[in-house]
Structure 1
Amino acid sequence: MTAPLTFVHLTDLHIGNPTVTDDHLYSDTSATLRAIIAEIKRLTPKPHFIVASGDLTNRGDIGSYEELKHILAEAELDIPMLFALGNHDKREGFYRAMLGRTSDIAAPYDHAAVIDGIHIIILDSSAPYKVGGSFEESQFAWLEDELNRHVDLPKLLVMHHAPALDSDPDLEWEALSIIDTERLRVLLAGRNVVGILSGHIHYDRVSNWYGIPVVVGIGQHAATDVLYLNEGIRMLAGASFAIGTIRQSGLTISFAPQPSDRRELHCFTFADMAEILKKYESQAALDAVE
């Protein structure tokens, strides 16, 4: 790669089914996505690709994915777009609606592409009944094989849950599990990884994770109030996307926030979060018995 390459990072689209009322959808995410796509189409130079790092829909149902598919079709972007899955997504709904796939629909959606000299590796960090992220055993073998391909090309990883930044188990809900983070660190050591793109936590954050830039975006649903994080999660009106540039010197990210009055949309404490996590675990146990 010689000339700089530009791309767009979207995350947490949280598209809903327009025919169903959803009390946990706090903004008009379809309108937000349309507005952001209009801005993307005005970018010069034209981005080489778009990545969407998970939580494509709010409920993971086929109707929501069909709404996403409709928005993208009417936009006529003519730019390659790659998708990761997040904890709000459901593999079955995604496979059926977005890909027309009817077999092996419980498998992780891991895939890769080489676009204009960049090796983009997409990992599915979603796990049924979990808010935080994890990988299945087979995904590590797949990733190792993929990392050994195109060894001369810079690699950009996309996954909904960013690697855990430290070993605090109380924060596993917001990241990839600590165990899987460590395995990922070992696999990526010495590789030409220019960056990892993620979402999930709904605020812009850039970290240096063992020498690899990890970029998290607000997304298109709501913005987490970072001034409230010691008490809980306060969701404000707000959305953003990111414009990335890969140069010989490495990755540059510029955030493009959307106009917002920053009003409060929803708020809950970490005690509430504990109850949410218990509910997920209870449902998982019930389904395992059935």
Structure 2
Amino acid sequence: MLIAQISDTHIPLKGKKTYGIAPMAENLVQCIADINQQNPKPDLVLVTGDITHSGQSEEFNHAAYLLNQIKTPFYVIPGNHDDRNLLRSTFDKRSCPVEADKKIDYVIENKELRLIALDSTMLGKPGGEITKVQAQWLNEKLTEKPKQPTLIFMHHPPVNCGVLETNADGFIGKELLGDVVSSHDHIEKILCGHIHLPINTRWCGTVISTAPSLGMQLALDLTLKRESEFFLEAPAYQLHYWTQDKNLITHTVVVKPVDGPYLFENL
């Protein structure tokens, strides 16, 4: 099974650039084209939040038009830049299978890997949150199929990732979430966004993996003293490959023109 993950697309109004300088819509088009030509094709695509830049309905319409070019089923969850209600009303039940007036938590049933979406957003705040109700719901869903390998996907990672700006955003309820996660041994990985960098770390008996942004990568400063800033880089996304041996392998795919390939035996 092959799963593509794109995150933090920050789509602006049509014809605009994000922050006036970042061509995020063009970057998304490039990533979708690359995903569509992958061989084998991904079985599904996860869009892990901050789909829009300002949460406006026009931005959601623009993002939906672009995402609908994906030639495989895709699923969305909100990030802190998104409006949950607009996201729900813009995308149909195929991409956002939830009921009205609820957090966007849902399950994607699959024979090989089961996927559970969690809505970690808080209204008007940049940080993450998992409520007691959500933690109880997650525990119930994980208990239903304790032998089936499962992926959780959400926008905010429930740990500090060594990036000053996102560390400061915080995560309410990470202890609640950690208690649930640590009590189940069939969670292969927790897929997140928000950090604008590809990061992996162990947490509560599983692995947290964050996807890069589609071109606005945050500055990496392990001294945690650098002011908040980002670089314009080539767009990138991740491929999560569930092998026949039941290993989950994550590849980061950078979408840019390169020279090659070159056969070693000919050099």
Q: With structure 1 as the length reference, what TM-score do the two structures score?
A: 0.77
SS of equivalent to 1:256: strand
Tell me which of 12, 19, 22 is aligned to 1:16: 12
Residue of structure 2 in register with 1:184 after alignment: 177
Tell me which of 153, 156, 164 is aligned to 1:161: 156
Tell me which of 54, 62, 79 is aligned to 1:86: 79
Aligned equivalents of 1:26 and 1:161: distance in 2? 25
| Aligned-pair CA distance for 1:214 | 0.9
| Aligned-pair CA distance for 1:99 | 3.1
- Whether 2:99 is the aligned partner of 1:107: answer no
SS of equivalent to 1:220: coil
- Whether 2:226 is the aligned partner of 1:203: answer no
Is contact 1:119-1:150 (8 Å) kept? no
Is contact 1:48-1:116 (8 Å) kept? no
**Structure 1: which amino acid aligns with 2:72?**
I
Mean Cα deviation higher: 85-94 or 25-34:
25-34
SS of equivalent to 2:171: coil
Tell me which of 240, 244, 258 is aligned to 2:240: 244
Aligned equivalents of 1:224 and 1:40: distance in 2? 23
Call closer, same or farther: CA 1:211–1:25 in 2, change over 3 Å: farther
Residue of structure 2 in register with 1:58 after alignment: 53
Residue of structure 2 in register with 1:194 after alignment: 188
Aligned equivalents of 1:159 and 1:183: distance in 2? 15
Q: With structure 2 as the length reference, what TM-score do the two structures score?
A: 0.84
Is contact 1:11-1:241 (8 Å) kept? yes
Is contact 2:17-2:24 (8 Å) kept? no
Aligned equivalents of 1:64 and 1:79: distance in 2? 22
Q: How many residues align?
A: 248
Residue of structure 2 in register with 1:7 after alignment: 3
**Structure 1: which amino acid aligns with 2:66?**
I
Mean Cα deviation higher: 224-233 or 213-222:
224-233
Cα deviations across residues 50-103 of structure 1 (Å, max 9, x unaligned)?
Answer: 111111111112111111111123x2x3312111111001112112222389x9
Aligned equivalents of 2:139 and 2:180: distance in 1? 7
SS of equivalent to 1:95: helix
SS of equivalent to 1:148: helix
Call closer, same or farther: CA 1:214–1:116 in 2, change over 3 Å: same
Which structure 1 segments of 5+ residues have no match?
A: 261-290
Residue of structure 1 in register with 2:216 after alignment: 222
Cα deviations across residues 148-184 of structure 1 (Å, max 9, x unaligned)?
Answer: 2232211100010001149xx996534533xx11211
- Whether 2:255 is the aligned partner of 1:258: answer yes
Call closer, same or farther: CA 1:26–1:206 in 2, change over 3 Å: farther
| Aligned-pair CA distance for 1:191 | 2.9
SS of equivalent to 1:232: coil
